[in-house]
Amino acid sequence: MSHTTKNKAKTLSRVRRIKGQVEAIERALEGDSECEDILQLVASCRGALNGLMAELIEGHLKFHVLVEGQKTLPSQREAADELIAVVKRYFN
């Protein structure tokens, strides 16, 4: 089972919220929204996408690189944790 299958409901919920944010951008562009408001909507959407990307990368690393049930050296686990922390800081 893939990590995306395991957390499917949570991930889909997150994607649906992002979809709502994109639709809000579309409505703002179709209407007479101020530039500042549209920029804020885009920034919020970008943040949500970055959060999703960080979560997916973390899951990929934990599921495909540090395979559960296989021997992992403490240094490998530490390096993975450090990489996850860097990815989260980069995307957030």
pLDDT confidence of residue 20: 98
Q: How do the pLDDT tens digits run along the chain, 92 residues long?
A: 567 777 899 999 999 999 999 999 999 999 989 999 999 999 999 999 999 999 999 988 888 888 778 888 888 889 999 999 999 899 87
pTM value? 0.82
Q: How open is the CA angle 9-89-20, to the nearest 5 degrees?
A: 40
Which listed CATH number (1.10.540.10, 3.40.50.2300, 3.20.20.10, 1.20.58.1000) goes with 3-91? 1.20.58.1000
State how far the Cα of 55 lies from the Cα of 42, in Å rounded to an integer. Answer: 20
State how far the Cα of 37 lies from the Cα of 71, in Å rounded to an integer. Answer: 51
pLDDT confidence of residue 51: 93
pLDDT confidence of residue 48: 95
Name the token pair of 49: 């996408």
pLDDT confidence of residue 73: 86
**How many residues are recorded in the chain?**
92
> In the chain, what is the greatest distance between 2 CA atoms, to the nearest angstrom?
58
